[in-house]
Every structure is written in structure tokens, then in C-alpha cells.
Structure 1
């Protein structure tokens, strides 16, 4: 695991209760895909059975996962804990929350023959878990810096394709309604053409769950090299897109399954981040944003009355 990822998610201060159990669960789900295979086994094992793992010594967990004691300790540190002892305490807390009903267990996949009522319940649970994980893992310092850049931006360009393109459109229409000049680009050629025109004082935002979408990375790179402030909204804090991002906002997703592709859950977490950005900018620019928002409401109401 890279040092950059650890910096994004932070490290424990050393006190046993410094990282909430919910944040631990979010980190496991978010970071596991970018860990080594042996570290993934440790992370996924503690997420699946926090109560059982909390009762194990470092040697016991290493034997259970077929790894080494050093791998267990490294996994604990990547998850934000000084050592395995602190991870065990957090696991015990997570297990207690699950037993009390305040923290649900891992989601169950949707089956082809599930009744529609079960589908609704499972999707609702997955959406809630995705939002909770994203909130727990979102770096509010990075978020605040991105809000500051947006609030003072001359122009905002947002890049996204596929489901992320829909989120890009959502963000730009929100920013337009509070008086900012914002454009969403899903065509990679137009995105690069517009990125060339950006400069210091402008903001470029790339939205890509995988962190490796070339059609999104390329315009962000161009904007970055032309001096614009750049932001990446991604589910992979170690993805290629982050090398061109001044600020990284990490999203989480529910577990992907055959009937629930990553695009569904990633969109949910991206929309939460987009809403956080919008509200933050509206707060910072309230004197401008409030009348602009009122004017947009009035214009739409007038159109509907015609």
C-alpha cells in the first residue's frame, strides 16, 4: 500500500478509541481492492467476522488467513492503527455495534429469484451502507479545500463518462443555479479542448470510480498542467487520476454483484460528495447564491405557469 493512501485516510493517533468502528468498516471496504492479495485476506476476514477476529492474537489471525504476522500488522497500519492491539479493540467495538443492531452486518447479494420486497430491502440497505461508508471515509480537509477553490472559481469544468457523466451533469446544474459558470463534459475530445483554455483561478473536477478512466484523466491532466485547481472524485485513492489532482475526495461503494454493477453504488456515493460540494459552496457564497437560486426557481415557476 502506498504512503499516499495512508495520508488520504489518516492514521490513528495512538489512542484505542481514536478511529470509530464505522470508519474501520468503511476503510476495509474502500481500501481492500488496492491491497496486496495477502493483505486483502486479512482485511476481508476482519470485516466479515469482527467479533471472532477480536478474540484472536496476531499469530492466530495470521494462521486463520494463511498470512504472516508481519502482514497482519501491516494491514492494521494501512487501516489507520499503530498496531494490531489497536485494531483488535476497534474490531471489538464494531462487533458490539453489530450485536446491538446499530451497525449492520455485511450485505447479502440480490438473487435472481428474490421477491421484489427483498430486492427493495437489500437495495435500501446497500444504499445506506454506501452513504455511511462514504461519509466515514471522506476527508473533510480535502473537501473544505475543494469548496474554497470552487467558491472563488472563474470557471468550473467537470469531466465524467457513463454513470459518472450523469453525476457531472448533476454537479454543474447545481453550480449554475447559484451563479457559477460550470460545464460538464462527457465527450473526451471536447473535454480536452476546453481544458486547454483553463488557467489559474479555474477549477477542473474529474469523476471516476475506478480512478483509471483515460477519457477523464486526460482532460484533468491538461487542466492541471495549465494551472487550474484540480479535484478528483474517485473510489480509488491510489488510482492514476489522483496524480493530477490537487484535492482527492474518496467515495465508497457497496459490494458489486451480478445484478448490482459498480455503476449503481458508485453513483450513490458520488452524488453525496457532489451534494457536499454544492452545499459548501452555497454556504461560502451565500450572498450571491441565495438570490441566484431564488431567480432560478422563479424562472422555472414562470415557465410552468405559461
Structure 2
């Protein structure tokens, strides 16, 4: 989180920069400061303090402080340890797990709950209106899209996934207002996904993008769920980023399930489980 503030500092207005510098000077102390003292020390107004927090992707000062407290209290570093050709199995085990755990903890501390809330709201609206929810991805992200379809259709949602570029463009052309398209991409630079997202949005669908910040795809969607994690693609295929995308899908599916409610879901899932029971060995 502190790295993110440091990287964004020069892009902020001068007044918000002063708030950011106060955070970086002593993050632990900042967590316990009231908004009036933050404003006084930064020589800005109270609304500017709130604007700074929102510029960083948080709902406000309380949300910002909550995530900042988690970062500084746990002291969890952003670890990325590349797998080397001469690594032993024990080294590979530790590195892969460390990368995944660090990425999950960083996402937990940095994720914009406001963006997630908006995403869940439009997914719930689509479910209530019995509209279509589609998941697009290619390569590794195509597998994540298939997993998303599996999770959402079990909730009684009209969901489907496409990993073929032509099918994505054709289906995006058929979208209407009320439909939702979730586009998943690690690089955020795949032409087919960019085209499909743009087409779906022009036809009135709400487009949620799960991708890296600063990528071309990030600016195409109505809602951007940031998923940042560096990986060396020359040496091995995306691993942690795929797990991060799967985890974000899990968050969305779980939140939607809670909105739908146990009274409606439990009979549906119980009947589904009963129908599958006969297909298993005793």
C-alpha cells in the first residue's frame, strides 16, 4: 500500500500530495490521527484528506485507515521470488506458496471495497432481472472465466463463459442494457478482449474488468477490479496472477450468494447435490 502511494504521488494534485507525504513519513502514526489533525499537519482542508483517500481507490478516510493499519501492523512484505532452473523441490514449494500468500495479503490490504461493492451491485441487479452475465478470458484467463461460470451458474445465475475471441465479439454484439460482462486479463492488452469489452459497453451492458492497473483494458470497463502482481513470463507461465483472479471471482460469487440469501439458495443447492449423488460411487 505504501509503495502504491509513493508511485502515485506525482500524479496527485499538490494538496493531496501533502497528505500522501504525511502518510509516508509515519504510517503508524497517521492511522491514529483524527481528520482535523491530518488536515492541519498537511496544511489542507478536511475534504482534501477525503479526496486523497478516494484518489488512492478507497471509500474514504475510515476505509483508508483500516487498510493502512493492516499493512503496517502485519508488516507483510510484497514478496516475489522467481523460480530458478536449479531450484530444489523444497525451494519451488516455498517460493510458489510465498508468492501466492504475499499477493493475497497485499490484495486484501489494497483492494478497493468501493469497486467490489459496485461490481456486486450490478451482478445482483442482473440476477434479479434474469439478465445475462458473461465471462471473457483467453489463455490462462480463459480457464478463470470457465471457473467463474461454474461458480455463478450454481447460484441460479444465467451465466456463460467464452474463451474464443470470435465468440466473445459475437456475444458482446448481442448484449443489452442490464447484462453484465466480466472481462479477465492479466496483461490487459489482448486485442480480442479489448474489442469485446468495447462492443459490450456500446450495446449498454455493464463491463467489469479484472486486470492490471494502468493497462489499456483497465480504462475500457465501467468497473475496474485491480489485480496487480509482477511475474516473469519469459521463465514460467502466469501462476500467482491466475490464483489472484480466481480469488477475486470467489469474492464476487460469495458476496452475490449472500445477497441472494440462504432461503433461496439452500433448496437449490440441496436439489443439485441430490441429483448428483447417484453419479458417485458409494
| Aligned mate of 1:74, from 7, 10, 30 | 10
1:150 aligns with 2:123: yes
SS across alignment from 2:182: strand
Deviations 1:26-66 (A, max 9, x none): x37xxxxxxxxxxxxx85xxxxxxxxxxxxxxxxxxxxxxx
Q: Are the structure 2 counterparts of residues 225 and 163 from structure 1 closer, same or farther at C-alpha, using a change threshold of 3 Å?
A: same
State the alpha-carbon separation in 1 of the partners of residues 71 and 192 from structure 2.
Answer: 41
| Aligned mate of 1:116, from 58, 71, 89 | 89
C-alpha displacement of 1:174: 0.5
C-alpha displacement of 1:278: 0.3
C-alpha displacement of 1:91: 9.1
TM normalised by structure 2 equals: 0.74
Q: Are the structure 2 counterparts of residues 24 and 100 from structure 1 closer, same or farther at C-alpha, using a change threshold of 3 Å?
A: closer
State the alpha-carbon separation in 2 of the partners of residues 180 and 80 from structure 1.
Answer: 44
Maintained 8 Å contact 2:79/2:99: no
C-alpha displacement of 1:98: 10
Maintained 8 Å contact 1:155/1:203: yes
Maintained 8 Å contact 2:123/2:180: yes
Q: Would you identify which runs of 4 or more consecutive aligned residues in structure 1 move more than 6 Å?
A: 75-81, 97-101
C-alpha displacement of 1:225: 0.6
Maintained 8 Å contact 1:77/1:83: no
Give the RMSD, CA atoms, in angstroms.
3.0
State the alpha-carbon separation in 2 of the partners of residues 147 and 113 from structure 1.
Answer: 44
Partner of 1:90: 27
C-alpha displacement of 1:102: 4.4
Partner of 1:271: 246
State the alpha-carbon separation in 2 of the partners of residues 87 and 206 from structure 1.
Answer: 34
State the alpha-carbon separation in 1 of the partners of residues 144 and 215 from structure 2.
Answer: 19
State the alpha-carbon separation in 2 of the partners of residues 230 and 303 from structure 1.
Answer: 37
| Aligned mate of 2:220, from 244, 248, 251 | 244
| Aligned mate of 2:163, from 152, 161, 186 | 186
**Number of residue pairs aligned between Structure 1 and Structure 2:** 237
**Which blocks of at least 5 consecutive residues in structure 1 are unaligned?**
1-22, 29-41, 44-71
Q: Are the structure 2 counterparts of residues 179 and 235 from structure 1 closer, same or farther at C-alpha, using a change threshold of 3 Å?
A: same
TM normalised by structure 1 equals: 0.68
Deviations 1:65-89 (A, max 9, x none): xxxxxxx962798998724343132
State the alpha-carbon separation in 2 of the partners of residues 98 and 115 from structure 1.
Answer: 32
